[in-house]
Chains A and B, each alone.
Chain A
Amino acid sequence: MKVLRALSTTVGSKFLVALTGLLLVGFLIGHLAGNLLILLGGDKFNAYGHALITNPLVVPAELALMALLLVHMGKAIAHVLRGRSARPEAYAKKSWAGGPSRKSWASTTMALSGIFLLAFLIVHIATFKFGPYYASTEAGVRDLQRLVVEIFKNPLYAAGYVVAMGIVGLHLRHGVSSAFQSLGLMTNGVWTARLLNFGLLLAVIIAGGFALIPVWVYLFL
């Protein structure tokens, strides 16, 4: 009870946003690693996909991911709404503070980028997970590589995907280091600097890694 109550405060809520966010980032890293197999060839990629969807844990894992996402969104939306209601009257003039402030386009658009990413996620799942089923040469194995190639050969889709990954990067650019701050890990100067850099690096790697795939497919496959 005590814990539940504590998790409903502004500070506790941000723990949850941070924890779920970091776990989702963890998922993204795994997802990226798997997807990058496409660079090594269609067979490896399809084998990985097959192994993944035939794993009995995949449904619980998907449910868990969905739960993480729901908590992440729910708490984040509540946080934003609470912030809005805490300032009922806007300033006639407001400028950014500059100096040591971490305010950035990334941080000011977290809600927007988040909503965009939700929309992207739905499209993404519809396109790939529930997209056309192509059988591969191997019995019972879905030819996902063919689907991916087909879709990314469309320049509009490929470009759109790259842009979407830019927004993923934007969201993570603030999100990752912000999560470390929310969890109380930035209490000393050296580690604060390291974690800030780490957050930026991770955002670039994840966004860049995912964006690499449509570019690669469009240009080389």
Chain B
Amino acid sequence: MKVFLKVWRQAGPDVTGRLVDYTADNVSPDMSFLEMLDSVNETLIAKGEEPIAFDSACREGICGTCGVMVDGRPHGPDPCTTVCQLHMRRYKDGDTIVIEPWRARAFPLIKDLVVDRSAFDRIIQAGGYTSVNTGGAQDANAILIPKTVADEAFESATCIGCGACVAACKNASAALFTSAKVTHLSLLPQGQVEAKTRVVAMVDAMDENGFGGCSNEGECEAVCPKGISLKNIATLNREYRRALLS
């Protein structure tokens, strides 16, 4: 089948960009969305034109590298799916697809569809860890953790840091990303020790990096490829409240 693309092209951060029309021919329904873009790029490269720059790595939905707005929705139309796992069988012959980069002050554009998400690293640097040095850890079974708690912590820990939450949010807020880490660690006994300082420091980092605040709309949850729940943001708020009141 054939699909029509409108792709954001921007040669660098300081030049203006625009949507450029491309046609993807011979698209097979079994192709992933990024393989479709690969094939467009192959045509461009063979003609000596610069291919569309976009990020991707594992192509199995776990590394969080890929991520573009597809028709105004991060990672495209399917719930709980990264754009590398989106397949072209989702589209019909003749469809037009608009592809744009994540847009946020905290994610400055590098080129075309590629943005700089190092702000997420800085949020983790502020406190998204337990302060234990290598060596000297006690036996792994010394602290029992109820299965339900471990499972819940795991759910929060599955965040892949792709930035879809920021991209979808009208305030470009990083609340879901930050809260997933705060929640993961606050649920576990190992993370309790620093729970209060962690949440304060991570919220500060979130603000310093230029993300907006949370309006509790939950667009982030709806577009999160890993289904990270809005409960995490509530937990972040609760942890922050506890830190504030102590």
Interface string of A72-111 (1 = CB under 8 A from B): 0000000100111111111111111111111100011010
B212 at the interface (CB under 8 A from A): yes
Select one of B19, B106, B219, B240 contacting A6, CB under 8 A: B240
Q: Which chain A positions have C-beta within 8 A of B218?
A: 100-103
Mark contacts of B201-234 with chain A using CB atoms, 8 A cut-off: 1 yes-contact digit, 0 otherwise: 0011011001111111111011100000011011
A113: Cβ under 8 A from any B Cβ: no
Within 8 Å of chain B (Cβ to Cβ): is A186?
yes
- A99 CA / B8 CA spacing, docked (Å): 27
Query: Would you list which residues of chain A between 43 and 80 have a CB under 8 Å from chain B?
Result: 79
Contact across chains for B244 and A187 when beta carbons are under 8 A apart: no
Interface pair B79/A187, CB less than 8 Å apart: no
- Write out, one digit per residue, whether chain A residues 2-37 have a CB within 8 A of any chain B CB (1) or not (0): 010011011111110000000000000000000000
Closest 10 CB pairs of A and B: A184-B238, A83-B171, A10-B213, A184-B237, A86-B212, A97-B222, A101-B222, A83-B212, A95-B72, A86-B172
Is A187 touching B238 in the complex (CB atoms < 8 A)?
yes
Q: Which residues in chain B, 41-89, are within 8 Å of chain A measured between CB atoms?
A: 69, 71-73, 79
Least CB distance from A67 to B in Å reads: 20
List B80-131 residues whose CB lies under 8 Å from chain A.
98, 100, 103-106
Contact A86 B216 (CB under 8 A): no
A100→B222 contact, CB < 8 A:
yes
Are the CB atoms of A94 and B72 closer together than 8 Å?
A: yes
Establish whether residues A83 and B213, one from each chain, have CB atoms under 8 Å apart when the complex forms: yes
Q: Is the interface of B mostly helix, strand, loop or mixed?
A: mixed
Chain B 177-209 against A: per-residue CB contact (8 Å), 1 yes, 0 no? Answer: 000000000000000000000001001101100
Partner of B69 from the list A15, A84, A91 (CB cut-off 8 Å) is: A91
Residues of chain A within 8 A (CB-CB) of B8 are: 92
CB proximity of B233 to chain A, nearest CB, Å: 7
How far in angstroms is the closest Cβ of chain A from B58? 24
Q: Which of B72, B215, B236 contacts A83 (CB 8 A)?
A: B215
A136 within 8 A of B: no
A170: min CB distance to chain B, Å:
14
CA gap between A32 and B172 in the complex, in Å: 37
CB<8 Å pairs between A and B, sample of 23? A7-B244, A9-B207, A10-B214, A11-B203, A12-B244, A14-B213, A84-B171, A86-B106, A86-B210, A86-B212, A87-B212, A92-B19, A94-B72, A97-B222, A102-B217, A103-B219, A107-B216, A181-B230, A182-B237, A184-B238, A186-B230, A187-B231, A192-B231
Q: Is A185 an interface residue (CB 8 A)?
A: yes
Q: With contacts A95-B72, A181-B233 known, is A86 near B206, CB below 8 A?
A: no
Contacts of A188 in B (CB 8 A): 231
Considering residues B171, B216, B231, which has the most beta carbons from chain A within 10 angstroms of its beta carbon? B216
Q: Which residue of A lies closest to B210 (CB)?
A: A86
Q: In the assembled complex, how far is the CB of residue A163 from the closest CB belonging to chain B, in whole angstroms?
A: 25
Nearest Cβ on chain A to B128's Cβ, whole angstroms: 16
Which chain B residues numbered 1 to 41 have a C-beta less than 8 Å away from chain A? Answer: 6, 8, 19
Contact at A97–B172, with CB atoms within 8 Å?
no
- Report how far A71 CA is from B172 CA in the complex, Å: 23
CA distance A192 to B98 in the complex (A): 35
> Are B212 and A92 closer than 8 Å at their CB atoms?
no
Q: When the two chains form their complex, are residues A85 and B105 in contact, meaning their CB atoms are under 8 A apart?
A: yes
Find A14's partner among B71, B72, B172, B237 (CB 8 Å cutoff): B237
Given contacts A14-B237, A103-B219, A184-B238, contact A87 B172 (CB under 8 A): yes
Q: Is the CB of A96 within 8 A of B219?
A: yes
Distance in angstroms between the alpha carbons of A32 and B240 in the assembled complex:
34
CB-defined contacts of A186 to chain B, threshold 8 Å: 230-231, 234
Q: Does A145 contact B (CB under 8 A)?
A: no
- Assess A91 versus B72: contact at CB under 8 Å? Given A83-B213, A103-B219: yes
A157 to B129 alpha-carbon distance, docked (Å): 59
Q: Known: A86-B105, A97-B222. Contact between A3 and B244, CB under 8 A?
A: yes
Q: Say how far A181's CB is from chain B's closest CB, in angstroms.
A: 4
Distance between Cα atoms of A100 and B216 in the complex (Å)? 12
Q: Is A178 a contact of B215 with CB atoms below 8 Å?
A: yes
